[in-house]
Amino acid sequence: MPGYSTRLLTLRLGGLDYRIRALSDRQQFADPSGRAERAGISSANWCLFGQVWPSGRVLAQAMSGFEVDGKRILELGCGLGLASLVLNRRKADITASDHHPLAEEFLTYNAALNGLPPPAYLDLAWTLPQPDLGRFDLIIASDVLYERGHAEQLAALLHLHARPEAEVLITDPGRGNSGAFTTALKRQGYAVDEVRSAFDDGDVPPYRGRLLSYRR
């Protein structure tokens, strides 16, 4: 037994249904070998990768119609991999990444649930050098700015792995850290386009959620 429970969800993304295995709730935790602890993932944060978050749905929906032909794409903090699965179905050149020890397993399982081959996957810790990762045309992420230091870490990672004319697309629920990230990317030569949007059915204007698009 894995030590945690799951549930199957059906999500409508880009006009298509996706079957997704997610953790049953936010109380799930299992780290018998200590892999998550060694990766710096606390018991309180262990379950976060395995939830379907509004930001993840918004990003996946955006990827259902985004121009991806000829682009090498990286998803950061993929969690259950909604956006990567949408891109995989579109036959895009997508590499999913996360640092949770179960992210790849859930991504592979969810790809199979939808009759898809597993996307390329990388265990990517933002603060560790990745000399073989290379550079990307499009880098995407959802709800990755949930701690103050993440803006600086993410900006440093993009500096190393974004191509000179790269695009960056971030969906953010409005945790208050996107301003520092935008400032850091402007220093790298990016122009920003910010669209406030509803992330849940109950959201009303002015929306806290943002679709942040950076281009250079």
From 173, 154, 158, 162, select the one nearest 212 (Cα to Cα). Answer: 173
Q: How many degrees, rounded to 5, is the angle at CA 40 between CA 49 and CA 143?
A: 35
Pairing mode, strands 210-215 and 162-172? antiparallel
Answer yes or no: pTM beyond 0.85. Answer: yes
The Cα–Cα gap between 109 and 26 comes to: 20
Q: pLDDT tens for the chain, 216 residues: list them.
A: 589 999 999 999 999 999 999 999 999 999 999 999 999 999 999 999 999 999 999 999 999 999 999 999 999 999 999 999 999 999 999 999 999 999 999 999 999 999 999 999 999 999 998 989 999 999 999 999 988 899 999 999 999 999 999 999 999 998 889 999 999 999 999 999 999 988 988 888 888 899 999 999
Question: CA-based angle 123:92:138, to the nearest 5?
Answer: 65
- Element (DSSP H or E) covering residue 182: helix 178-187
